[in-house]
């Protein structure tokens, strides 16, 4: 459960404008579903890397603010968050490699959101087809009179009845020139260790390679990932590298 204990005043690293940030008594990192590009469905905590834009127009990260350790008043504003449509302007301003990497990461996920709509629709249709086939096979396995009675009474198949094996499919992923350029630049920033203390690991590099269709490079980068908490993501990505599938994939832990 996420609980807030108060708000603290901080100063922006650029012009020292004052804002407030949340102080958490506890944090709930529960997520309904994950995506291989780092997007999250139903996340209870922010997933934007702390990207903010000061009133002076300079973008900064919350990890870089100056903490004053003073309780904020109710009228103290939060650091403004850039809208997704404004991320190209933040990227163009390029106040630092770290800010650029965070902005490009957020833009990467935003540009993939249109594909996510197609993905969800496709998977829902596939699940309906699989369920219909399961019911058909179940009724077909019953003696004639029992089959007729089961259909008439709308009896559900017994849970022990095996479901048919269906290949896992997703819509074709066709990144635009803008998406490709953004992913290539983000990958370069990651490989150049632009993010310093918060540098993304090779898991993200592997995903960028995969979405760019560079499957051999993706496989090599994935080998370098060895954190236990990444096991499910690595497995999902490895499976789709083998399938030569470049699409962002949804998964649950």
**Digit-coded pLDDT (tens) for 32-62:** 999 999 999 998 888 999 999 999 999 999 9
Q: Give a yes or no: residue 7 inside a domain.
A: yes
Sign of CA dihedral 109, 112, 113, 117: negative
Q: How far apart are CA 207 and CA 187, in angstroms?
A: 10
Q: Give a yes or no: residue 54 inside a domain.
A: yes
Q: Over the chain, what is the mean pLDDT?
A: 88
Q: How far apart are CA 166 and CA 131, in angstroms?
A: 11
3-state secondary structure of 73: coil
Buried/exposed 47-59: b ≥16 CB within 10 Å, e otherwise: ebbbbbbbeeebb
Counting the structural domains of the chain, the total is: 3
Write out the two tokens for 250: 């949804």
Q: Give a yes or no: residue 88 inside a domain.
A: no
Q: How far apart are CA 127 and CA 115, in angstroms?
A: 18
Confidence of residue 9 (pLDDT cuts 50, 70, 90): very high
117 with 144, same domain: the answer is yes
User: Cβ distance 94 to 100 under 8 Å?
Assistant: yes
Give me the domain span that covers residue 110: 94-200
180 with 207, same domain: the answer is no
Q: Tell me the range of 68-77, 103-112, 158-167 where mean pLDDT is highest.
A: 103-112
Q: What is the pLDDT of residue 209?
A: 98
Higher pLDDT, 121 or 146: 121
């Amino acid at each position: 459960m996420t609980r807030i204990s108060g708000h603290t005043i901080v100063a922006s690293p650029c012009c020292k404008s004052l804002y407030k940030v949340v102080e958490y008594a506890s944090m709930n990192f529960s997520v309904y579903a994950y995506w291989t590009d780092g997007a999250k469905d139903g996340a209870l905590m922010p997933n934007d890397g702390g990207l903010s834009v000061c009133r002076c127009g300079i973008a900064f990260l919350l990890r870089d603010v100056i903490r004053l350790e003073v309780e904020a008043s109710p009228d103290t504003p939060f650091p403004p968050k850039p809208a997704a449509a404004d991320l190209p302007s933040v990227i163009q301003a390029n106040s630092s490699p770290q800010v650029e990497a965070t902005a490009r990461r957020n833009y990467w996920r935003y540009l993939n959101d249109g594909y996510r709509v197609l993905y969800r629709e496709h998977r829902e249709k596939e699940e309906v087809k699989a369920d219909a086939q399961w019911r058909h096979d179940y009724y077909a396995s019953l003696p004639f009179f029992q089959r007729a009675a089961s259909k008439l009474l709308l009896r559900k198949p017994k849970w022990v009845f095996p479901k048919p094996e269906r290949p896992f499919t997703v819509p074709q992923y066709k990144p635009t020139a803008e998406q490709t350029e953004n992913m290539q630049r983000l990958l370069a920033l990651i490989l150049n260790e632009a993010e310093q203390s918060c540098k993304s690991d090779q898991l993200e590099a592997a995903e960028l390679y995969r979405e760019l269709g560079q499957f051999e490079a993706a496989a090599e980068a994935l080998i370098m990932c060895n954190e236990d908490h990444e096991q499910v993501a690595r497995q999902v990505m490895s499976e789709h590298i083998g399938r030569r599938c470049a699409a962002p994939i949804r998964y649950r832990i």
